[in-house]
Amino acid sequence: MKKFTCRPDLTEARRVFAQGLSRQKKKVLVCAETGCVAGGSLEIFDRLKSLCAKRGIKCAVELGRELEKGGHGLQEESIGLKKSGCHGFCEMGPLLRIEPAGWLFLKVKPEDCEEILETSIIGDKPVTRLLYKQGGDIYPTQEEIPFYRKQTRLVRAHCGHSDAESIEEYIANGGYKALEMALFELSPEDICKEICDAGLRGRGGGGYPTGKKWDQVRLQTEPVKFVVCNGDEGDPGAFMDRSVMEGDPHRMLEGMMIAGIATGAQTAYIYVRAEYPLAVKRLKNAIEQAEKYGLLGERILGTDFSFKIYINQGAGAFVCGEGSALTASIEGNRGMPRPRPPRTVEQGLFGKPTVLNNVETFANVPIIINISAAEYRKIGTAGSPGTKVFSLTGNVKHTGLIEVPMGTTLREIVFDIGGGIKGNKAFKAVQIGGPSGGCLTADHLDLPLDFDSLKKVGAIMGSGGLVVMDETSCMVEIARFFMKFTQNESCGKCVPCREGTRAMLNILERIVAGEGKPEDIDVLLELEDTVTSTSLCGLGKTAGSPIVSTIKYFRDEYISHVRDKKCPAKVCQALKSIYIDASLCRGCGKCSRICPAEAISGEIKKVFVIDESKCIKCKACISECKFNAIVEG
């Protein structure tokens, strides 16, 4: 592998790699992201590779070797069979895309490979049965599918469209051009100003201006500084950062390197949870590739800039997503937050000035440098430029990863991209921002999703998780679920969070168990106010958000649980009642004979009744009744 020692080396490599890609008359991109891999996508890749070999079809070009030949071995055309990153339409996986036609095949199986090879790779026709269909219409190309139509892919532009394991393909597609500009055309002050002018705000949830943070580190007089990437991503159902680490790791690395140039840091750490083994593998591979080409290490491209990136695997503690707890974990200490000031930009990792951003934030940086701050600002809103990646999950027809301009409304996301609510049920709410977020209701469907608009309604964007709920969701149970998660993940360092979250959880568990008291709702709000005001870190300060938002918008459900001992959504088991529908009961008496609590009484050939005070809700009577007369509700 030829090491780049100057800028012309990289320029020539980009030309050779791009020429090699152009010889791939068709590209077959098999999704090799965690979800599709679990569904068997690697078997599909291996099967296609084997079938191509049997037919004598060349299905890979080693671009690195072509560079060693000086670009003279590129006359032979081939099929580019690649392991790509996440396409986003996760529920339809395993996914396979064929370019340049743009066909996207859904729910592909190994046994489909022969037909794909003959019809689409050798031939030039799509396998119609594998295309997306809706309402009798067939959507041949990925871009035509409603799920993709309103998306704007910047951060995830390469995911699903290029080889996730190839630095050569990243370079051919313009990768590391921003690094070149940062090294040879911009000063550290210029870089910070460009990021400031672009209005990039931290995508990890806080929304702090990224350029301002970098400039604060740049101005520190301490000679030793660090860059840290937060890839912990602990929100339930969130996998936005994972998709970038698995599908386009070099974009993130390039952003970190530019941060190093801007601030004077020479060492960086990526903190990624060990539950992301594929992301760790792809990151290690990307770092090794960059080092071999001389894009990481000493005197990069012949300049005085040296940079080293290390990977640190976390054990999965949610609190380690908080900056000071994360840096403590990297240092080898227990991941617990510390009081601030001093701030991370002053005393972060090992007590040195530190730039700490998440994966998506760093991935935005090369885009801004390449297209300019002015062009970047044309996307999104004035206060929140750019795009945001969301994980769309829950009771929505189409789940997966989406990337939309900041300011896209909740209605567009749920109904246009997500296809609406499953089973055509009524929309009820969206939990946004994970356990620390709040609920948005039908009244917020036309709310633009950006940092400032969400703040006005008492919600936060968080890392970007969206959990859609329909009319069958119990909002009290939702609050209990997230509070249980938060309480379990509390590090226990500060009393308000450790004891306050437990106290709130205990009350919520009593309410859903049918043991709620009239004063419980007010006590919950008082506890939330105390925990929010006095907790040490962001975990405690936002722990009560699901409680506040669900009480604010669904107080009637709390009242029903506490006063009437009823769950309107019929979700809470302890509050369900079992009764006999008089119009269907035939008076056979079988239910009475099988009831272990002797809660059912009546006379043969007359309607039987259930004494709710005795019923233990074992449901034995429901399964015994042949007339479907016994109902749970």
Span 132-158, pLDDT tens digits = 999 889 999 999 999 999 999 999 999
Mean pLDDT of 584-606: 94
**What pLDDT is recorded for position 433?**
84
Q: What angle do CA 89, 93, 96 make, to 5 degrees?
A: 90
pLDDT band at 49 (very low <50, low <70, confident <90, very high): very high
**What pLDDT is recorded for position 495?**
94
Strand partners, 139: 132
Contacts of 272 (CB under 8 A, 6+ apart): 231, 232, 245, 279, 280, 283, 311, 312, 313, 314
pLDDT band at 76 (very low <50, low <70, confident <90, very high): low
**What pLDDT is recorded for position 533?**
94
**What pLDDT is recorded for position 459?**
86
**What pLDDT is recorded for position 72?**
53
Interior/surface letters 106-126, b for 16+ CB within 10 angstroms, e for the rest? bebebebbeebbebbbeeeeb
Span 443-457, pLDDT tens digits = 999 999 999 999 898
Whether 74 shows a pLDDT value over 60: the answer reads no
**What pLDDT is recorded for position 1?**
67
Please tell me whether the overall predicted TM-score, pTM, comes out greater than 0.85 for this model: yes
Q: What is the CATH code of the structural domain delimited by 577-632?
A: 3.30.70.20
Span 351-370, pLDDT tens digits = 999 999 999 999 999 999 99
**What pLDDT is recorded for position 189?**
98
Mean pLDDT of 10-36: 93
**Same-fold call for 206-365 versus 577-632:** no
* C-alpha to C-alpha distance for 71 and 292, rounded to whole angstroms: 19
Tokens of 388: 């945001």
**What pLDDT is recorded for position 319?**
86
Provide the 10 A C-beta neighbour count for residue 25.
Answer: 12
**What pLDDT is recorded for position 126?**
97
Whether 68 shows a pLDDT value over 70: the answer reads no
| Closest-CA residue to 388 (of 413, 371, 370, 416) | 413
Q: What would be the CATH architecture of the domain defined by 475-573?
A: Up-down Bundle (1.20)
| Closest-CA residue to 415 (of 442, 454, 381) | 442
Contacts of 252 (CB under 8 A, 6+ apart): 229, 244, 245, 359, 362, 363
> Distance between the two ends of the chain, CA-based, in angstroms?
68
Fold of the domain built from segment(s) 7-168: Glutaredoxin (3.40.30)
Strand partners, 30: 83, 96
Helices of type H across 306-357: 323-330
Provide the 10 A C-beta neighbour count for residue 135.
Answer: 4
The percent of residues in the chain predicted with pLDDT above 70, rounded, is 97
Provide the 10 A C-beta neighbour count for residue 23.
Answer: 15
Mean pLDDT of 90-102: 95
Whether 61 shows a pLDDT value over 70: the answer reads no
Span 185-205, pLDDT tens digits = 999 999 999 999 999 999 987
Do 413 and 405 contact (CB within 8 A), yes or no?
no
Fold of the domain built from segment(s) 387-470: Ubiquitin-like (UB roll) (3.10.20)
**What pLDDT is recorded for position 435?**
82
**What pLDDT is recorded for position 104?**
97
Span 416-446, pLDDT tens digits = 999 999 999 999 999 998 887 889 999 999 9
| Closest-CA residue to 364 (of 381, 348, 377) | 377
Do 449 and 410 contact (CB within 8 A), yes or no?
yes
Span 119-131, pLDDT tens digits = 999 999 999 999 9
Q: What angle do CA 169, 364, 177 make, to 5 degrees?
A: 45
Whether 599 shows a pLDDT value over 80: the answer reads yes
* C-alpha to C-alpha distance for 439 and 428, rounded to whole angstroms: 10
**What pLDDT is recorded for position 75?**
52
Indicate the burial class of 145 (C-beta count within 10 angstroms; 0-12, 13-18, 19 or more): buried
* C-alpha to C-alpha distance for 293 and 290, rounded to whole angstroms: 5
Query: What DSSP character marks residue 561?
Result: I
**What pLDDT is recorded for position 578?**
87
**What pLDDT is recorded for position 576?**
84
User: What's the mean per-residue pLDDT of the chain?
Assistant: 93
Span 507-523, pLDDT tens digits = 999 999 999 999 999 99
**What pLDDT is recorded for position 87?**
95
Q: Is 600 helix (H, G, I), strand (E, B) or coil?
A: strand
Whether 410 shows a pLDDT value over 90: the answer reads yes
Do 120 and 52 contact (CB within 8 A), yes or no?
no
The domain locations on the chain are 7-168, 206-365, 387-470, 475-573, 577-632
Span 220-255, pLDDT tens digits = 999 999 999 999 887 777 789 999 999 999 999 999
What are the C-alpha distances in Å from 205 to residues 358, 390, 438, 583? Answer: 9, 12, 13, 54
Q: What is the CATH code of the structural domain delimited by 206-365?
A: 3.40.50.11540
* C-alpha to C-alpha distance for 377 and 553, rounded to whole angstroms: 34
* C-alpha to C-alpha distance for 319 and 234, rounded to whole angstroms: 8
Least-confidence region, from 221-230, 311-320, 502-511, 560-569: 311-320
The percent of residues in the chain predicted with pLDDT above 90, rounded, is 80
| Closest-CA residue to 213 (of 346, 380, 326, 370) | 346
Whether 566 shows a pLDDT value over 80: the answer reads yes
Tokens of 531: 């925990």
pLDDT band at 64 (very low <50, low <70, confident <90, very high): low
Do 61 and 20 contact (CB within 8 A), yes or no?
yes
Helices of type H across 265-358: 277-292, 323-330
